Amino acid sequence: MPANGLNPPGSMQHFDTLLRAATVTGKHGLPPVHLWNPPDCGNIDMRIAADGTWFYQKTPIGRPALVRLFSTILRKDPERYVLVTPVERVGIVVDDAPFLGVEMRVEQGEKGQTLHFRTNVDDWTMIDAAHPLRFELGASAGLKPYFRVRADLWALVKRALFYDLVDLGEVREIDGTRMFGVASAGSFFPMVPADEIGVSA
């Protein structure tokens, strides 16, 4: 294996093996990747860019169906992101979050509003206590919202949708501090202290 830990640039062995495994295991929904503990086979030259684009050997993977297949065998291990099958595990690079939130739907019910997000691989996630929103301060883009898709895999919400989230925001007192945030499915997800952005109610 080269010193950079990547499989040889001309090798398609892991790519083909992963694709076959994802095709087979994905026929009945998401495979139980959290239960698999196959041998570590190093890294593969695959990267998920911050805008959600998947690259293989520095070339964008242009087929959405192919991206979706690979996303079903994605897992976050303590040290890195991996694509995992029952027989092998390979590391990939993720620039920010592995998924991108591209559409939001708001429903009203007994618990008030409930937010749903569609990812760039066409999965819908309902925002609740098990699938929370979190907000992080970006280096230059201000506050960046994320939501948990499954396990330790998160999606970055597109900037345009962030403004829609702000429009849904409200102020609540959390541990003695007035926080501006957004509610969904009976849970409240704080963004910033209300006083920092001049929100009075």
Domain edges within the chain: 13-94, 99-197
**Per-residue pLDDT at 97 exceeds 70:** yes
Conformational region of residue 56, where left means phi above 0, alpha means psi within -120 to 50, and beta covers everything else:
beta
Helices (H), 27-178: 64-71, 159-167
pLDDT score of 106: 97
Q: Average pLDDT in the 150-162 region? A: 95
pLDDT score of 19: 77
Whole-angstrom Cα distance, residue 96 to residue 75?
14
* Count of other CB atoms within 10 angstroms of residue 82: 21
What letter represents residue 162's amino acid? F
Q: Which residue has the higher pLDDT, 101 or 141?
A: 101
pTM: 0.86
Whole-angstrom Cα distance, residue 83 to residue 150?
15
**E strands within 49-97?**
54-56, 59-60, 74-76, 81-84, 89-94
Q: Average pLDDT in the 178-189 region? A: 96
Q: Average pLDDT in the 138-153 region? A: 88
Percent of residues, the chain, with pLDDT higher than 70: 88
pLDDT score of 2: 38
Domains 13-94 and 99-197 equal at CATH topology level: no
Instruction: Please report which confidence band the pLDDT of residue 198 belongs to, taking 50, 70 and 90 as the band edges.
Output: low
The CATH class of the 99-197 domain is mainly beta
**Per-residue pLDDT at 93 exceeds 80:** yes
Residue 135 backbone dihedrals phi, psi, to 5 degrees: -130, 130
**Per-residue pLDDT at 117 exceeds 60:** yes
**Per-residue pLDDT at 3 exceeds 60:** no
Structure tokens of 129?
């206590």
Is 13-94 a domain of CATH 3.10.540.10? Answer: yes
Q: Are strands 99-109 and 153-157 parallel, antiparallel or unpaired?
A: parallel
Residues 6+ apart with CB under 8 A from 51: 100
Percent of residues, the chain, with pLDDT higher than 90: 71
Overall residue count recorded for the chain in this entry: 201
What letter represents residue 66's amino acid? L
Chain centroid to Cα 46, Å, comes to: 16
